Chains A and B, each alone.
Chain A
Amino acid sequence: MLSFLARRAVTGLATLFTAIFLMFMLVNKAIDPLSDLYQDTSPNKAQKIAARIDLLDLNTNVVVRFFKWLGHFLTGDPGVAWKTGEQVAPLIAHAIGSTLQLVTAATLTSVVLGVAVGIVSALRQYSAFDYVIIFLSFLLYSLPSFLVGVLLKQWGAIGVNDFLAEPVIPWVVIIGVSLVNGFIWSIAVGGPVRRRLEVAGSATAASIAMLAYLQLTDWWNKPSLGPILIGVLGAAGALAIVAIGAGLHNRRALYASLVTVGVGLALYFPIGAFFDGFLESNVLMLGLGLAAIATGLLVGWLFGGPDRGVSMRSAAMTAFLVAALTYVDQLMQVWVEYSDGLRGRPFPTFGDRTPNLTGSYWLTTLDSYTHLILPSLTLVLIAFASYTRYSRSSMLEVMNQDYIRTARAKGLPERVVVVRHGFRNTLIPLATIVPIDIITLIGGAIITENIFARPGMGQLFVRSLTSAEIDPVMAYLVITASLAIIANIVADLIYASVDPRIRLEA
C-alpha cells in the first residue's frame, strides 16, 4: 500500500513536470504579449516594445525562463498577471472558491439524479420508460454545453423573470403538464395495466392539486414551506426512505423515521426564533445539519430492536431531509425582500453575486444560490446524461450476475436483491468515475463559467490566455494537472477499497 503510493507519487511528479514543461513551451508559442503594440502608432513604439520585452524577460531563452518561473513557483510565488498587475495567488484563490461552489452543487445533483434514473431504467429494461431515458440521455449527451447555457439564460432567467412579473399559468397548461407527469410516473413504475392506470391517475391528481395550490396562493412570488408542508414532505420522504432502505414491514425503522419528522417539526419554531437572534454562518449550518443527523441516529438507537443499524440509518437520513427542508424554508422567508431588492427580477444571468448587496446571512446565501441555479442546471443536464448511461449499463451488468440469481433463488424479496445486491455493486465502477469527474471539474467548467460570466477557474484560464498572460495560465495548468494526477491515484485507492478483488501491488 505505502510502496504503491510512493511509486505512484514519484511517477506522478515526473509526469507533472514533463506536462508542465511542454505546456509552458506550447503556451509560450501560442501567446504573443507584444501583439497590441504592433499597431501602436505613437513615436516611442520601439521603446514601449523594449520595455515590454524587459518586463516579461522575453529575450531570455524560453527554457531558462521556464526554470526561473518554476523556481519562483516552488518558493511560493506564482507570479503576476502583468496586464493588470494583480498577484496570481489571490486571483486563483478567489477563482477556486467560486468554482467549488458550482461544481459541488452540480456534481452532487447530477450523480444522485443520474444514478437513480439509470437504475430504474435498467430495472425496466426494454420498456417504454427505458427507451425514453435512452433517447433523452443521447439527446442531452449530444447537446453542446454552450447551447444549453444560452437557452437556459433566455428561458430559465429571462423567461422565468417575466413569468414572475405576472405569475398565472393557464389551467390548460396545468392539466397538460400534470397528465405528462402522470404518464411518466406510470411508465417508470410499470407493472400490469391496472396498476399503471392507478399510478397515472394518482400522479396526475397530485400534480394538479400541487400546481393549483401554488397558483391560488400566489406561491411563485411568496414561496414558503411552513410547518405543514415540511411535515407532509418529511413524512413522504420518510416513507420513501424506509420503503427503499428497510422495507415498510420494518415497523421500527418506520416509526423511528416518523418520530424524527415529529422532532423536526417540534423544533421548527424554536429554530426560527434561534436564527432571529444569532449570527448565522455556513459553519453553523453545517453543525446544525450534523446535529440533525446525530438526533436521527439517537432516535433510531432508542427504538432498539434486533437490527438497530437499519432504524438508525433511516432515521438519520430522514432527519437530514427535514433539516434541509427547514433550511430551504428559512431561505424562502427572505425571498420577497430579495425579489423586491432586485426589482422583481430575481434570476440573474451572470456573475456569482449581486454587487453591493448587503443584508442578513440568509439574503446573501439566497443571492449566491440564485446565481448558482442556472450554471448548475447547465452542468447537471449534461452530466446527468453520462451518469445515467454509466449506471444503467453497470446495473444491467450486475443484474445478470450469478449472485443475483442466487439471491433470488434463496427467496430474498426483490427489494433486498435490488438494493443490497444490485445497487451496491453497481456503485463500484461509479466509484472510480465520480472522484475523477469532481476533481477535474475543479479545473473549471470552462464553457459554463464563460457563458454565465462566473469568475471561476475556467474563466480565469480563458481570460488569461486571450490576454497573453502566461503566469496565471501556468498556475492554472499546474493546479489542474496535479489534481488530475491525484484524482487518478484516489480513484485507484477507492477502487481497491470497495472491490476486495483488486490488489494495489500489481
Chain B
Amino acid sequence: MTTTPQPSADSERMENAIELKGVEGLSQGQIVRSRFLRHKGAIGGVIVLAAIVVLAYSSVGFGPIQGWWKWTGDEVGSQTNAGGTPTLTLPGWLGGPGFALGEHPLGQDVIGRDLFGLVMRGTQTSLMVVAVIGFVAAVLGIIVGASAGFYRGRIDTVLMRTTDLFITVPVLVIGAVIGKLSGKISGAVFAVALGFVLWTGLARLVRGEFLTLREREFIDAARVAGASDIRIIFKHILPNAIGVVIVATSLLMSSAILLETALSYLGFGIVAPEVSLGRLISDYQSSFATRPWLFWWPGSFIVVIALSINFIGDGLRDAFDPRQKRIPSERKMLKSLRAQEALAAQDAARPVTDS
C-alpha cells in the first residue's frame, strides 16, 4: 500500500510552518509583517483604502494636476436626468438595463453640481484631515510620552497634568470651539489644531512603555557605552515601543474621521468653499426624502473609509501582540484529529497487510 496524499494534514502542516518560521530566526519586523499579511480583514482594509485614495486623488486631480473626471463638482448646470437622479445603471444580471456610467454616475444636486466630483473632493479633504491628525498626534504623543517616561520626575508630573487637562474636556467640545475659531482658516489648519487635542491618549501609552523599557539591561548597556539621551530614546527605546505607537495611531485615525465628519456636520468643521464628506451630509440631509442619493454616497464613503481603517488597526494590533495565537476553528481541529486517526489506523493496519 503506497502512501496516499493527506491534503488536510498537509495544509495543517503549512499553517504550522508559518508559526514555526517565527522560531527560525526571523526579525521582529518580519514576524509582524507575515502576521499582518495573514489577517484577511486587515488586507481587505488596505486594498479598499488604497483604492479609495487612488480614486479620490486621480479622478478630480489635486492642486494644479488635472484629473481624468470631467467635472470637479463646482460646475452649475442643467440636470441630465430629471431631478438629477444618478445616471449609473446596473448591469443586466442585477436587474438593470445594462451597465453604464453616464454623464453623472452618482447624480446631481438641485443646482446641477456633479455629486461624484463633490464626493471625491470631500474624500480628499477627509483623508487629508485624518492623515494630518494622525501625524500631528503621533509626533506630539511620542515626544511628550517619551520625555515624560524617560526623564520622569518633574517633567513627568508637568506633562501628565497637561494630558489630564485635555482629558477633562470632551474632545468633541474642544473640537467644536477650535472649529468655530478656525472657521475662517483652511481645513489643514483645522486638522493640525485637532491633532493638538488628540495626542493625549497616545502620550500616556508611550509613557507607560518608556517607563518599563528604560529599566531594561540593554538601556544600561547603551548608557555605559556612552550613548546620549537622544540616541537612547530614538535608537534603543522607541523601536521597541513602536508597536504600541502604530496601533494607537491607527485606532486614533479611525476615530478622527468620525470626529471630523461630526464637527463638519454640526457646522464647526470644514466650511464652504471647501468640501468634506461630513459637510456634504449636513448640506443634503434635508433632501433625504426627495434626493436620497445625495445622502447615501457621501455617507457610504465615510463608513467604508472608517471601516477599512478600523480593520487595518485591528490587524496591526493582532500582528504586534505577541500573545496572539491563531487557534484553528473547531471544525479544522476535528478534521485534523480525524486525519491523525486515519493515519494511526493505517499504521496499525499496515503490519497486517504487509505480512
Q: Contact residues of A with B, CB < 8 Å?
A: 11, 14-16, 18-19, 22-23, 26-27, 29-31, 125-127, 138-139, 141-147, 150, 154, 158, 440, 443, 446-447, 450, 461-462, 465-466, 477, 480-481, 484-485, 488
Contacts and interface: CB of A to CB of B under 8 A. Distances in A.
B300 to A, nearest CB: 9
Nearest to A389: B314
Contact of B310 (A27, A31, A141, A484): A141
B177 interface: yes
A484 B314 CA distance: 28
Interface stretch (B15-23, B88-96, B301-309): B301-309
Given A29-B181, A147-B281, A485 B303 contact: no
Interface stretch (B59-67, B236-244, B260-268, B337-345): B260-268
A465 B161 contact: no
Contacts of B174: 23, 26
Among A23, A30, A450, find the residue whose CB has the most chain B CB atoms closer than 10 A: A30
A19 B170 contact: no
A440 B167 CA distance: 11
28 contacts: A11-B161, A11-B164, A15-B161, A15-B165, A15-B168, A23-B174, A27-B177, A30-B180, A125-B327, A126-B327, A127-B330, A138-B307, A139-B303, A142-B254, A142-B258, A144-B302, A146-B282, A150-B281, A443-B170, A447-B262, A447-B265, A465-B176, A465-B177, A465-B268, A484-B168, A484-B169, A484-B170, A485-B168
Interface string B275-314: 0001001100100110000010001001100110011001
Given A26-B177, A30-B178, A154-B289, A143 B295 contact: no
Given A19-B168, A150-B295, A480-B173, A143 B181 contact: no
Contact of A30 (B164, B177, B262, B299): B177
A465 B267 CA distance: 11
**In terms of DSSP, what is the predominant structure of the interface of chain A?**
helix
A26 B307 CA distance: 33
Interface in B324-355: 327-330
Interface of B: 161, 164-165, 167-170, 172-174, 176-178, 180-181, 254, 258, 261-262, 265-268, 278, 281-282, 285, 288-289, 295, 299, 302-303, 306-307, 310-311, 314, 327-330
Given A27-B177, A29-B181, A147-B281, A142 B168 contact: no
B262 A146 contact: yes
Contacts of B170: 440, 443, 480, 484
A466 B263 CA distance: 13
Contacts of B288: 150, 154
Given A31-B180, A126-B329, A142-B310, A147 B169 contact: no
A147 B303 contact: yes
A79 to B, nearest CB: 18
Given A26-B177, A125-B327, A127-B330, A144 B164 contact: no
A144 B261 contact: yes
A462 B175 CA distance: 12
A145 B262 contact: yes
B265 A146 contact: yes
B130 to A, nearest CB: 13
Nearest to A445: B172
A488 B289 CA distance: 43
Nearest to B304: A142
Nearest to B170: A443
A373 B174 CA distance: 29
Given A30-B180, A141-B310, A147-B281, A19 B169 contact: yes
A477 B169 contact: yes
Contacts of A141: 306, 310
Given A30-B178, A127-B329, A138-B310, A450 B169 contact: no
A141 B257 CA distance: 12
Contacts of A146: 261-262, 265, 278, 281-282, 285
A131 to B, nearest CB: 10
Contacts of B167: 484, 488
A11 B167 CA distance: 14
A144 to B, nearest CB: 5
A15 B200 CA distance: 15
Contacts of A126: 327-330
A343 B329 CA distance: 55
A462 B176 contact: yes
Which among B177, B282, B289, B314 has the highest number of chain A CB atoms within 10 Å? B177
Contact of B299 (A19, A127, A147, A488): A147
A11 B330 CA distance: 52
Contacts of A488: 167
